[in-house]
Amino acid sequence: MKKLFYLQVFLLLLSCSENNTQSKTKRGRETDTLNSGITNEEKVKFLWRDSSASLVINQTYCKGISEPEKAAIGYVATFVGNDCEWEGNTENLKCSVLRALNLGYQCSETHLGFLRNWFKGDTAVLKELENCPLSSNTATVQESFDELEISSSGNTIVVFYKASGINLREGKSWSYSEKVSFEKDNERIRLKNKERSEVKMEQIQE
């Protein structure tokens, strides 16, 4: 009788242990979703131009990107062109970076809602997002990425990019680079600093 009692107690304890392990594993997977992506001190090239000047995006990195990293790149891409084009005769502006990040159309609720959630509390960024730009790659005045890389160190995410622009009306072009730093935790991200290089202006040769 005692043996039966001890066996029942053992099985009960074993069941509780398995449930606790499964619970921890589940919580671990949820945490990994937020904290996956690049590791400390790692630097990843997110986009670049190929030999034909076409924009190339690192799709392998996109598959394992963390939510804070997505917010950092998504914020930067909001204000720099990335092969954006109008979809048919609609008012939907389809942009390469936002599409790769599964953030929908430029300035859509999917796009801005995601950024507002991750930048909650950052009043300066939220104010910027109120003036979300809509400019396609056929605009007279436009700007676009040439390359972009992202790195992480502790609670800091750094996005470094090079961009160039053109004003067909005035016959001018320009280029510059910028380093944008963010502070992250598991619930939000905050803009820390922007360091932009001197803008190099040139006259377009006819």
In a domain, 149, yes or no: yes
Structural domain total, the chain = 1
Separation CA 181–CA 183 (nearest Å): 7
| pLDDT over 80 at 189, yes or no | yes
pLDDT tens for 106-127 read: 999 999 999 999 999 999 999 9
Say how many C-beta atoms besides its own lie within 10 A of residue 59's C-beta: 8
pLDDT tens for 88-103 read: 878 899 999 999 999 9
| pLDDT over 70 at 170, yes or no | yes
| CATH number of the domain that residue 95 is part of | 3.10.450
In a domain, 170, yes or no: yes
Q: Domain range for residue 67?
A: 42-203
| pLDDT over 70 at 42, yes or no | yes
Separation CA 143–CA 137 (nearest Å): 8
Q: What is the DSSP track for 60-117?
A: HHHHT--HHHHHHHHHHHHSSBSS-EE-TTSS-EE-HHHHHTT--STTSHHHHHHHHH
Q: Which residue has the tokens 């995410």?
A: 157
In a domain, 13, yes or no: no
In a domain, 28, yes or no: no
DSSP letter, residue 31:
H
Tell me which H or E stretch contains 166.
strand 156-167
Q: Is 205 exposed, middle or buried (0-12, 13-18, 19+ CB in 10 A)?
A: exposed
DSSP bridge pairs for 183: 156, 190
pLDDT for 89? 79
In a domain, 17, yes or no: no
pLDDT for 206? 67
- Read off the pLDDT of each residue in 56-81 and give the average, rounded to a whole number: 97
In a domain, 5, yes or no: no
| pLDDT over 60 at 33, yes or no | no
In a domain, 145, yes or no: yes
In a domain, 132, yes or no: yes
CA distances in angstroms from 29 to 39, 42, 132, listed in the order given: 17, 22, 34
What six digits make up the tokens of 9? 């107690």
